[in-house]
Amino acid sequence: MALDEGLLGQAEAAGTRWSEAQEHAERAKAEYHHAVRRLHLAGASLREIAEALDLSHQRVHQMVEASGGAMGWRSRRKAADPACTFCGSGKAQVARLVAGPGVFICDGCVRLAGEVVREPRSAMAHLALVPAGSDLACSFCGKTAAEVATVVAGPGVRICDQCVRLCDEIVTAQAE
């Protein structure tokens, strides 16, 4: 019995759409988990987050752990010594630390982000390129990937090419 080419084409197209939908759902799930983790890292308790999102405390704990956990991180609200939001290095561990609205980036991550901006195919360690047209926004200026040329993402934080250049200028000026 021969395969119906029209039905085969429909099945292949449906399979492609299903695969794309699964990838989209996984990205959305990861973004949600990272957003919950950022709430926790910003100082909210797991119980406060659970209540606000109408989730169980256990589910919030699982989400935080699945997206990198809270071990080794200090709340930015309570931290006496600011740390790079991208790599976690404290102010004493880096040469320069540039502050944004509730976020920080060290000179090393500025350099790495600049490399990813210049050579998008070369994701570096904890940094990766955000797909063009994404709704994900720069943690420094708030512009989305659709509004700028490039956005580089770290663990729960992002920086656009424009802010990378500005941070690089700040780091360079501080070094002089």
DSSP the chain: ----HHHHHHHHHHHHHHHHHHHHHHHHHHHHHHHHHHHHHTT--HHHHHHHHT--HHHHHHHHHHTT-STT---TTT-SS-B-TTT--BGGGSS-EEE-SS-EEEHHHHHHHHHHHHSTT--BTTBEEPPTT-S-B-TTT--BTTTSS-EEEETTEEEEHHHHHHHHHHHHHHH-
Mean pLDDT of 35-57: 84
Average pLDDT over residues 49-61: 91
Average pLDDT over residues 83-97: 90
Residue 36 is predicted with a pLDDT of 85
pLDDT band at 154 (very low <50, low <70, confident <90, very high): confident
Q: What is the mean pLDDT of the chain?
A: 83
| Average pLDDT value for residue range 163-169 | 92
* Percent of the chain clearing pLDDT 70 (strictly above): 87
pLDDT band at 11 (very low <50, low <70, confident <90, very high): very high
Whole-angstrom distance, CA of residue 139 vs CA of residue 142: 6
Boundaries of every domain in the chain: 1-74, 81-176
C-alpha closest to that of 34 among 68, 3, 6, 78: 68
| Single-letter amino acid code for the residue at 170 | I
Nearest alpha-carbon partner for 10 in 2, 21, 18: 18
Tokens coding 143: 């512009």
Would you say residue 78 has pLDDT above 60? no
Question: Strand 128-129's sheet: what is its strand order?
Answer: 128-129, 151-154, 157-160
Residue 16 has pLDDT above 70, yes or no: yes
Residue 73's pLDDT band (boundaries 50, 70, 90)? very low
Tracing tokens 């988990």 back to the chain, one arrives at 33
Query: What pLDDT is stored for residue 34 in this prediction?
Result: 79
Give the separation between CA 31 and CA 105, rounded to whole angstroms.
20
Confidence of residue 121 (pLDDT cuts 50, 70, 90): low
More reliable by pLDDT, 12 or 35: 12
